Structure 1
Amino acid sequence: MFSTSRPLVFSVFIIAITLLSSCTSSKQLTYFQDLPDKNVIDLPPMQPEERVIENGDDLYINFSAKDNEAANYFNKSSTTAVVPAVPGTVSAPATTTGSSYIVANDGFIEIPRLGNIKVVGLTAGQLRAKLLTSVAPYLKDPMVEVRFNTFKISVIGEVRSPGRYVLDMQRTTIFEALAAAGDLPLTAKRYNVELYRDYNGQRKIYKIDLTKASVLNNQEIFQLRHNDVLYVQPLQNTIARENFNTVTATLSIILSVVTLGYAIFK
């Protein structure tokens, strides 16, 4: 009887030790651990950086004037442009009508009556000023509206809802992106999140420790840019648990086969 139960007791002991060693401490889960112990903490203001137009961007451009009929000669056929109503929303219930332009690989868009206009490298404000100058000889008191139709980021790895998200086009933070993806589960590595950025001809990878308050003061990583990708790694004990579960399942099958064989051939 003792010889039969000894392997079972040993197996239970090994499983218990493994589970205890894989427990996650609170220090691995808490954001901003080094914040001062105050009710109100002042943070430096952050000015959203104006986005620069790149190849492939989807632009909304609309011309208007006192004589709207004349202004419409410079507008394409009306299309529906999606506009987020609330910062951080994944879907965009509000819509408006206007002209949508996809920036070509050569950096130009084609506007009726004005022809090809180079837009790459300009901000929306700079393009607005450029277009106002171009239509001024033809329209009285012209107005031009320019904005980006989309602002997309991707969140992958150890998050509850990985995917590609459309967020607020004016200002989106790293925590709004994580919130859109359902936040980080207990199995996520908060102290080594990677931000992949391909923007304005430069490619960079940032290593971010979300357990440190310094992330709140670093505008370069706190505020996201169009097409940013956040990658969240799993904790090592998560990987260990998965491997342990696989090994345990395999050993269970082997033990069952051995036990069955012993019962048949003894």
Structure 2
Amino acid sequence: MNTLRTTVGKLVSCFVIGAFVISCASPKDVVYFQDASNYETIVSDNSHTNTFKVDDVIGINVSTLDPAASIPFNLFSSAGGEGGYSQPRELDYIVDKNGEIDFPVLGAIKIVGLTPEETKELLKEKLQPYLKNPIINLRLRNFTVTVLGEVNQPGTYQVNGEQITVLEAIGLANDLGIKGRRDNVLVIRDFNGTKVYTRIDLTSKEALNSPEYYLTQNDVVYVEPNKSAVTQSTLDGRAGLTVSIASLIITTAVIILTRN
């Protein structure tokens, strides 16, 4: 009888220890920027300005001191404004497979690879024969990033500004889960049909200098599971049978001990 009690005790202990080992995680697995010292000042020259890609949707509005002069270069609402002129609104242009937009009067203009500021200057130059001192308002409308994998709220997020960092994107996804690998975050970037896969280590301060620290439109951030999550996933497939057998053994042993 003592042997039976010992066996049951060992079985229960094994299950408890096993569950603890699987669920535990080292601080090195979950802490960001582990090599950053207290009050350390890091001067980084890492900067990024997005450039336009194929399939980008861009809102453009042209204005001048003479509203009538800019009419041919804008899309207008039906309601009349001051002086009988319609109110202009941004016209959406799609960058085609040739990297061009079809602009009123000016025709095809190649902007793929240009930054917003470079595009504004190009449009101003081309509009000079028609308009005096044109003002160009320009906005990228399809700036989204997708965050997938071991994060608390995976999904595709709209970016309201002109740039976003990988940390801000992870913040939109409500941070990484405890089982997400911080040291091997994958950034998938599309360059006009060519996919580029790069990884970034968020446990190191050097991540701030990574070219992938600043995301571009339609980037995908994927956080892979750590070893603990992979192990648990493997065990989950056998969990039902294992738990049933263990429960049966323990229940039978308890009944025997109670009767005796």
Shorter-chain TM-score bucket reads 0.7 to 0.9
Do the aligned residues in 2 keep the contact of 1:65 with 1:143 (CA within 8 Å)? yes
Q: Using the alignment, how far apart are the partners of 1:199 and 1:215 within structure 2? A: 22
Aligned to 1:24: 25
Pick which of 50-59 and 192-201 moved more: 192-201
1:111 to 91, 103, 110: 103
Matches within 5 A, 1:97-246: 97-199=89-191, 203-216=195-208, 218-246=209-237
Do the aligned residues in 2 keep the contact of 1:76 with 1:99 (CA within 8 Å)? yes
Pick which of 4-13 and 231-240 moved more: 4-13
Deviation at 1:201, TM superposition (A): 6.3
* 3-state SS of paired residue (1:59): strand
Deviation at 1:24, TM superposition (A): 0.6
Aligned to 2:72: 73
User: In 2 relative to 1, CA 172–78 (structure 1 residues): closer, same or farther, beyond 3 Å?
Assistant: farther
Q: TM-score, normalised by structure 1?
A: 0.79
* 3-state SS of paired residue (2:90): strand
Q: Which amino acid counterpart does residue 185 of structure 1 have in structure 2?
A: G
Q: Using the alignment, how far apart are the partners of 2:249 and 2:42 within structure 1? A: 64
Deviation at 1:149, TM superposition (A): 1.8
Deviation at 1:220, TM superposition (A): 0.6
Deviation at 1:207, TM superposition (A): 2.1
Q: Which amino acid counterpart does residue 11 of structure 1 have in structure 2?
A: L
Percent of residue pairs bearing the same amino acid type: 32
Q: Which amino acid counterpart does residue 17 of structure 1 have in structure 2?
A: I
Q: Which amino acid counterpart does residue 153 of structure 2 have in structure 1?
A: S
* 3-state SS of paired residue (1:214): helix
User: In 2 relative to 1, CA 34–128 (structure 1 residues): closer, same or farther, beyond 3 Å?
Assistant: same
Q: TM-score, normalised by structure 2?
A: 0.81
Aligned to 1:248: 239
Do the aligned residues in 2 keep the contact of 1:75 with 1:111 (CA within 8 Å)? no
Aligned to 1:33: 34
Aligned to 1:87: none
Q: Which amino acid counterpart does residue 50 of structure 2 have in structure 1?
A: R
User: In 2 relative to 1, CA 11–135 (structure 1 residues): closer, same or farther, beyond 3 Å?
Assistant: same
User: In 2 relative to 1, CA 47–31 (structure 1 residues): closer, same or farther, beyond 3 Å?
Assistant: closer
Deviation at 1:228, TM superposition (A): 1.5
Q: Using the alignment, how far apart are the partners of 2:6 and 2:238 within structure 1? A: 20
Larger radius of gyration: 2
Aligned to 2:254: none
* 3-state SS of paired residue (1:221): coil
Stretches of structure 1 lacking an aligned partner (at least 5 in a row): 80-95, 260-266
User: In 2 relative to 1, CA 241–8 (structure 1 residues): closer, same or farther, beyond 3 Å?
Assistant: farther
Q: Deviations over 1:202-228 (max 9, x none)?
A: 542222221111112x14122111121
RMSD: 2.8
Stretches of structure 2 lacking an aligned partner (at least 5 in a row): 79-87, 251-260
* 3-state SS of paired residue (1:205): strand
